[in-house]
């Protein structure tokens, strides 16, 4: 995530940031609930299913980070996401991802 950011691949750094949080939530789910984790990408739902006590600010952050998975992956929204993911936007978003992690 940080290497992609350093290389100017802002949109992809955000996509990988989503993966970081998704994999952590799935690991928590496996540890707390069991090995049959949900095959979804929505981070707020994953956190709820993992029985994490999240406040409204965490839910807002998870919802924002979830969008990076969709916006970086699908062609119909990818171009506008690339334009939105400039240095300032990405710097802020990566800070949210790191805090969430």
pTM for this predicted structure: 0.89
Number of compact structural domains in the chain? 1
The number of residues making up the chain comes to 101
Tens digits of residue pLDDT in 40-87: 999 999 999 999 999 999 999 999 999 998 776 666 777 888 889 999
Instruction: Pick 71 or 88 by higher pLDDT.
Output: 88
Question: Quick one: pLDDT at residue 72?
Answer: 66
Angle at 68 between CA 62 and CA 69, to 5 degrees: 95
| Residues spanned by the domain of 89 | 2-100
């Amino acid at each position: 995530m940080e290497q992609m950011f350093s290389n100017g691949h802002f949109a992809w750094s955000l996509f990988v940031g989503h993966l970081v949080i998704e994999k952590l939530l799935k690991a928590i789910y496996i540890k707390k609930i069991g090995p049959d984790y949900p095959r979804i990408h929505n981070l707020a739902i994953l956190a709820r299913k993992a029985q994490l006590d999240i406040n409204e600010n965490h839910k807002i952050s998870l919802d924002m980070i979830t969008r990076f998975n969709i916006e970086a992956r699908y062609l119909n929204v990818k171009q506008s996401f690339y334009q939105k993911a400039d240095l300032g936007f990405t710097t802020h978003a990566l800070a949210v991802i790191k805090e969430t992690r």
